[in-house]
């Protein structure tokens, strides 16, 4: 199956595995909706929805940066609506977003624990 002209909605595609999947699809000419909450680079985790979208464009696809915290239904609905408005629909959805805290359960504060189960 060719991804040329297909629209892929990917959560958590500003970096990591989601971005790698998006870049591969962009090289095949796909439209990539990058739904993530990273608008500013983190000192330890570079990359934002905007830098990822630029990389999608440079790879041969079309990137659409969408500010979206998937824990909030209204943000997801707005991101989907913008994707449909921009590209005419969604062909593939990849639920990639996640939250992680690299510590044992007993050492994990609730403010870090809760998002891991909400995403």
pLDDT digits (tens, 9 = 90+) for 46-92: 889 999 999 999 999 999 999 999 889 999 999 999 999 999 999 99
pLDDT digits (tens, 9 = 90+) for 87-113: 999 999 999 876 565 667 677 666 665
**Domains of the chain, residue spans:** 7-118
What is the third-level CATH fold of 7-118?
Rossmann fold (3.40.50)
pTM over 0.75: yes
- Cβ pair 15, 38 in contact under 8 A: yes
Bridge partners (DSSP) of residue 57 are: none
């Amino acid at each position: 199956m060719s991804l040329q002209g297909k629209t892929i909605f990917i959560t958590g595609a500003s970096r990591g595995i989601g971005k790698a999947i998006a870049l591969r699809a962009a090289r095949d000419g796909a439209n990539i909706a990058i739904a993530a909450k990273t608008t500013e680079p983190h000192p330890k985790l570079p990359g934002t929805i905007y830098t990822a979208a630029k990389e999608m464009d440079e790879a041969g696809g079309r990137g659409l940066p969408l500010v979206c915290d998937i824990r909030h239904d209204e943000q997801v609905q707005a991101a989907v609506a913008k994707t449909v408005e921009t590209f005419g629909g969604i062909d593939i959805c990849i639920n990639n977003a996640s939250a992680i805290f690299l510590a044992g359960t007993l050492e994990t504060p609730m403010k870090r624990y809760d998002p891991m189960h909400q995403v």
